[in-house]
């Protein structure tokens, strides 16, 4: 349901190439690519002006364009991405691999791995010159609060989510030629302001740092998609990092986990879907069926779009990454025409029965379902189909919701199928969803949205103290709640 790439996280996908690509693009080339992105937003996105009026979009896009015109660099091109204005977490801009390869050789990188929590930035690695968990206050005299404000929010609607911001990466983009980073920090809120100067690092060292973080702890689930273990004699943790798994694989793993839970007479379960980027929507009821207390539960969602056809044909890519031809475009149009029907009352095209053959509205509880106490961990990186899982959990009042607001709306999001375009000059790839998905029957016409909101959160101070002790403060909170 969601591609496992978000704006600028191409850093994690770096690989070496034998070819070298020129990245000395002209001002006009940057501007033409920028204008093409704007055209795509206006003519191909399924509902671009849900959260921003077209007039306001034009004003803000013009400001970004003028900034790019004054500073025509690849870093600023990425920072000026107009896709962020429509506040759709599924719309992406991804740099061409060869361009990225050349780019990382030309810039310097921030020398520390960090984590953002509630608009504050903390050191997320052991380092010799600055303590783990120290709060960064300024970088090269710039206030961290101002830097965070410049990082585009990759969220749906009005969702408040700073944890998804990649501060170390953006610090690198904001200071691409810095030889030294002067960092002011505090070890605690009431601590004194200290300063340290650290040399910038190359990409190899930056990548090494990103793989040596303290949080998150459970890396096994990131590799497997699902993992579980006994936290204590009464509590079992199930970490789900992706719903983009085959039904057969997911059921096999879940069945084994919940059989073990039953055999060990577990009293409490913590389900952790923090940093879950989503996956197949049809998988969500399968996962939820293992914790449902009801014999069956409502599983209602509907696909809808205002743009069922390929309106922008130039630079469209086929499924193999080649430029699409007329037959490719006709095939895409036919696919949508056969599976979406127009509703004259609201102007939306709704998915029909041909669209999702696995759709089951009244979904049965699994035979191994756990009906005891459950807590669900969510955060600003709980996205897309994962937000639907959190929404089901909340709707059925299944247990305590702990953590942060999800990055996708609680009632709807975009996703499903995507169209990809290659920009003519930078060759970056623009990815747009083809439809919205509503977690009810009718299209939601709200001009704002919030994610699934937790009932219990930890403060930034508590988060910092946990990090300094190499502990997961949100997990600890969930454990305390289940003991009550």
pLDDT values of the chain reduced to their tens digit, one per residue, 484 residues: 433 333 344 333 333 333 446 678 999 999 999 999 999 999 999 999 999 999 999 999 999 999 999 999 999 999 899 999 999 999 999 999 999 999 999 999 999 999 999 999 999 999 999 999 999 999 999 999 999 988 888 889 888 888 888 999 999 999 999 999 999 999 998 999 999 999 999 999 999 999 999 999 888 888 888 999 999 999 999 999 999 999 999 999 999 999 999 999 999 999 999 999 999 998 999 999 999 999 999 998 889 999 999 999 999 999 999 999 999 999 999 999 999 999 998 889 999 988 877 788 999 999 999 999 999 999 999 999 999 999 999 999 999 999 999 999 998 888 878 999 999 999 999 999 999 998 865 566 667 788 999 999 999 999 999 999 999 999 999 999 999 8
Per-residue confidence (pLDDT) for residue 223, from 0 to 100: 82
- Phi and psi for 199 in degrees, rounded to 5? -70, 145
Q: Who contacts 182 (Cβ-Cβ below 8 Å, separation ≥6)?
A: 138, 139, 140, 141, 195, 196, 197
Q: Are strands 349-351 and 362-364 parallel, antiparallel or unpaired?
A: unpaired
Say how many C-beta atoms besides its own lie within 10 A of residue 184's C-beta.
Answer: 17
What is the reported pLDDT for 4? 32
Structure-token pair, residue 203 = 């990409």
> Residue 311 in contact with residue 440, Cβ under 8 Å?
no
Q: How many CB atoms are located within 10 Å of the residue 222 CB?
A: 13
Pairing between β-strand 302-305 and β-strand 296-298 as defined by DSSP bridges: unpaired
Alpha-carbon distance of 82 to 339, in angstroms, equals 30
DSSP per position, 375-436: EEEE-TT--THHHHHHHHHHHTT-SEEEE---SSBSSEEEEEEEEEEE-TTT--EEEEEEEE
Triad 418, 247, 234: Cα angle to 5°: 120
What is the token pair recorded at 91?
A: 């719309």
> Hey, how many other C-beta atoms are within 10 angstroms of the C-beta on 20?
10
User: Residue 127 contacts by C-beta under 8 Å, 6 or more apart in sequence?
Assistant: 112
Residue 177: predicted pLDDT: 94
Query: What are the residue ranges of helices labelled H in 303-384?
Result: 326-339
Separation of alpha carbons 97 and 89, rounded Å: 22
Cα–Cα distance for residue pair 392/240, rounded to 1 Å = 15
Retrieve residue 135's tokens: 């709060």
Instruction: Output the DSSP codes for 215-264.
Output: S---HHHHHHSEEEEESSSSEEEEEE--B-S-HHHHHHHHHHHHHHHHHT
pLDDT at site 16: 34
User: H-helix or E-strand containing 137?
Assistant: strand 135-139
Residue in the block written with tokens 């009932």: 455
481: nearest Cα among 290, 235, 257: 235
pLDDT value, residue 9: 40
How many of the other CB atoms lie within 10 Å of CB of 321? 9
How would DSSP label each residue in 87-134? T-TT-EEE--HHHHHHHHTTS-B-SS-EEEETTEEEE-S--SSS-TTP
């Amino acid at each position: 349901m969601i591609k496992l790439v978000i704006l600028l996280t191409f850093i994690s996908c770096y690989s070496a190439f034998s070819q070298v690509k020129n990245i000395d693009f002209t001002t006009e080339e940057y501007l033409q690519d920028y204008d093409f992105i704007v055209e795509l937003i206006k003519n191909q996105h399924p509902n671009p002006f849900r959260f921003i009026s077209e007039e306001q979009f034009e004003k803000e896009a013009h400001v970004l364009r003028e900034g790019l015109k004054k500073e025509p660099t690849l870093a600023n091109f990425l920072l000026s991405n107009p896709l962020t204005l429509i506040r759709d977490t599924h719309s992406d801009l991804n740099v061409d691999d060869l361009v990225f390869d050349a780019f990382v050789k030309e810039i310097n990188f921030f020398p520390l791995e960090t984590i953002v929590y509630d608009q504050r930035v903390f050191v997320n690695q052991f380092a010799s010159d600055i303590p783990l968990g120290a709060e960064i206050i300024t970088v090269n005299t710039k206030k961290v609060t101002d830097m965070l404000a410049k990082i585009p929010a990759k969220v749906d609607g009005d969702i408040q989510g700073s944890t998804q911001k990649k501060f170390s990466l953006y610090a690198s983009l904001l200071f691409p030629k810095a030889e030294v980073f002067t960092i002011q920090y505090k070890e605690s809120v009431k601590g004194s302001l200290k300063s340290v100067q650290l040399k910038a690092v190359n990409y190899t060292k930056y990548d090494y740092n990103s793989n040596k973080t303290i949080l998150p702890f459970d890396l096994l689930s990131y590799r497997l998609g699902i993992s579980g273990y006994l936290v204590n004699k009464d509590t079992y943790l199930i970490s789900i990092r992706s719903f983009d798994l085959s039904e057969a694989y997911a059921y096999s793993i879940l069945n084994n986990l919940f059989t073990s839970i039953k055999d060990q007479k577990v009293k409490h379960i913590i389900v952790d879907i923090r940093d879950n980027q989503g996956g197949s929507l049809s998988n969500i009821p399968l996962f939820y069926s293992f914790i449902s207390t009801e014999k069956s539960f409502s599983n209602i969602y509907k696909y809808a779009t205002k743009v069922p056809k390929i309106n922008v044909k130039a630079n469209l890519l086929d499924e193999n990454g080649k430029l699409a031809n007329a037959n490719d475009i006709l095939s895409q149009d036919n696919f949508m025409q056969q599976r979406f029907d127009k509703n004259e009352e609201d102007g939306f095209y709704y998915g029909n029965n041909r669209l999702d053959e696995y759709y089951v509205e009244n979904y049965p509880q699994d035979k191994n379902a756990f009906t005891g106490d459950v807590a669900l961990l969510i955060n600003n990186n709980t996205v897309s189909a994962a937000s639907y899982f959190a929404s089901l959990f909340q709707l059925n009042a299944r247990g305590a919701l702990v953590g942060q607001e999800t990055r996708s709306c609680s009632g709807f999001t975009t996703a499903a199928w995507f169209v990809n375009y290659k920009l003519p000059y930078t060759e970056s790839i623009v990815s747009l969803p083809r439809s919205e998905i509503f977690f009810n029957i009718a299209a939601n016409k709200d001009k704002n949205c919030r994610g699934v909101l937790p009932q219990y959160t930890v403060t930034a101070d508590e988060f910092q103290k946990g990090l300094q002790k190499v502990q997961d403060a949100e997990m600890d909170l969930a454990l305390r709640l289940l003991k009550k």
